[in-house]
């Protein structure tokens, strides 16, 4: 999988992408992530890439041509068959399901806006999909692009120790994950639930499922309602849920 990030702040992106799990995944060749500076395509001696909005108003707007020239270079004059995503608060809100679908693609290009955003004409010209990371506004698309690159990368083969690491997590299915504990067995008077120390894998699995259902019911009843409506709940889950609802 290749992910190219078109940004005015490649150093900001590289700082994140060089560390921890994603840094190791890049070094091992599980994912090829590159950051491309849109300013390198400014095409003027002042390296200017933004200008005042037509019609007036506050802030600056990123001009279309530097972005377009950057896109042409990144896509090797259109020869690369990539899917271009513009990160914008006006896009469709990102979900784990969309992350999973995108992780099955080979070639993604992410466009980060800044200031008041991007000239609409370049969006019309090159963008395949618009994604938002939530109903709030950030100063730039770098954090959203990194969130997208991170969430996709961890689903690629070899990045995490095994697939269970994400298939059992919150939002992969229709439940939130159960609570997690590690050493010590007692901390500030709080004990790890004894079942987790019992060594009985059947009981541990059952306890975790009950906890997942209880948490999801309490924190995200909308997720359970959707799962019930679409028939995704197993018989065991339905039984536990009935007991929980009393
Ligand atoms: N004027 C724009 C609007 O009202 O829709 C917001 C521009 S925002 C200040 C600057 C850039 O940050 C956007 O072009 C986008 O790339 C990024 N951005 C901000 N919030 C975002 C979000 N929730 N999801 C994805 N990208 C976001």
Q: For ligand 1, is residue 66 a contact (CB within 6 Å)?
A: no
pLDDT tens-digit profile of 62-72?
999 999 999 99
Give the residue whose CA is nearest to atom 13 of ligand 1: 113
Query: What per-residue confidence (pLDDT) applies to 167?
Result: 85
Mutational pocket test of ligand 1: of 94, 109, 117, the residue with most ligand atoms within 8 Å of the beta carbon: 117
Query: What per-residue confidence (pLDDT) applies to 29?
Result: 97
Average pLDDT, integer, range 191-216: 98
Mutational pocket test of ligand 1: of 12, 59, 89, the residue with most ligand atoms within 8 Å of the beta carbon: 89
Rounded to whole angstroms, how far apart are CA atoms 139 and 111?
A: 14
Instruction: Find all residues with CB under 8 Å of 4, minimum gap 6, and list them.
Output: 33, 34, 35, 36, 74, 82, 108, 109, 110
Query: What per-residue confidence (pLDDT) applies to 17?
Result: 98
| Contact indicator for 168, 35 with CB cutoff of 8 Å | no
pLDDT exceeds cutoff 80 at 163: no
Structure tokens at 143: 């954090």
3-state SS class at 92 = strand
Residue 84 alpha carbon to ligand 1 centre in Å: 16
Q: Across all residues in the chain, what is the average pLDDT? A: 97
107-112 and 83-93 strand pairing: parallel
Question: pLDDT band at residue 192, thresholds of 50, 70 and 90?
Answer: very high
Question: pLDDT band at residue 78, thresholds of 50, 70 and 90?
Answer: confident
**Residue whose C-alpha is closest to residue 63's, from 53, 81, 51:** 51
pLDDT tens-digit profile of 80-92?
999 999 999 999 9
Residue 28 alpha carbon to ligand 1 centre in Å: 32
Instruction: Find all residues with CB under 8 Å of 52, minimum gap 6, and list them.
Output: 60, 61
**Residue whose C-alpha is closest to residue 122's, from 86, 94, 161, 146:** 86
pLDDT exceeds cutoff 80 at 37: yes
Instruction: Find all residues with CB under 8 Å of 45, minimum gap 6, and list them.
Output: none
pLDDT exceeds cutoff 80 at 159: yes
- CATH assignment, 2-153: 3.40.1280.10
Domain ranges of the chain: 2-153, 168-245
pLDDT tens-digit profile of 90-130?
999 999 999 999 999 999 999 999 999 999 999 999 999 99
Sign (positive or negative) of CA dihedral 56, 57, 63, 67: negative
Rounded to whole angstroms, how far apart are CA atoms 157 and 163?
A: 8
Query: What per-residue confidence (pLDDT) applies to 8?
Result: 98
Question: pLDDT band at residue 162, thresholds of 50, 70 and 90?
Answer: confident
Indicate the pTM of the whole model: 0.96
The listed CATH number (1.10.1270.20, 1.20.58.340, 1.10.3720.10, 3.30.70.20) that belongs to domain 168-245: 1.10.1270.20
DSSP label at residue 94: P
**Residue whose C-alpha is closest to residue 152's, from 101, 111, 88, 113:** 101
């Amino acid at each position: 999988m290749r992910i190219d990030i078109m940004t005015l702040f490649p150093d900001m992106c590289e700082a994140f992408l060089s560390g921890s799990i994603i840094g190791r995944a890049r070094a091992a060749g599980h994912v090829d992530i590159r950051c491309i500076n849109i300013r390198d395509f400014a095409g003027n001696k002042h390296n200017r890439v933004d200008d005042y909005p037509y019609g007036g108003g506050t802030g600056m707007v990123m001009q279309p041509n530097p972005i377009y020239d950057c896109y042409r270079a990144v896509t090797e004059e259109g020869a690369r068959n990539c899917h271009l995503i513009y990160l914008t608060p006006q896009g469709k809100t990102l979900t784990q399901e969309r992350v999973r679908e995108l992780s099955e693609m080979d070639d993604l290009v992410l466009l980060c806006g800044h200031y008041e955003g991007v000239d609409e004409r370049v969006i019309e010209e090159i963008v395949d999909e618009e994604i938002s990371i939530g109903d709030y506004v950030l100063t730039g698309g770098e954090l959203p692009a990194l969130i997208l690159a991170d969430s996709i990368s961890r689903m690629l083969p070899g990045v995490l120790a095994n697939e269970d690491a994400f298939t059992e997590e919150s939002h992969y299915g229709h439940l939130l994950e159960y609570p997690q504990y590690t050493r010590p067995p007692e901390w500030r008077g709080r004990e790890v639930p004894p079942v987790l120390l019992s060594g009985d894998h059947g009981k541990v699995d059952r306890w975790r499922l009950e906890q997942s259902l209880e948490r999801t019911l309490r924190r995200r009843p909308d997720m359970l309602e959707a799962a019930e409506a679409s028939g995704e709940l197993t018989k065991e889950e339905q039984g536990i849920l009935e007991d929980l609802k009393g």
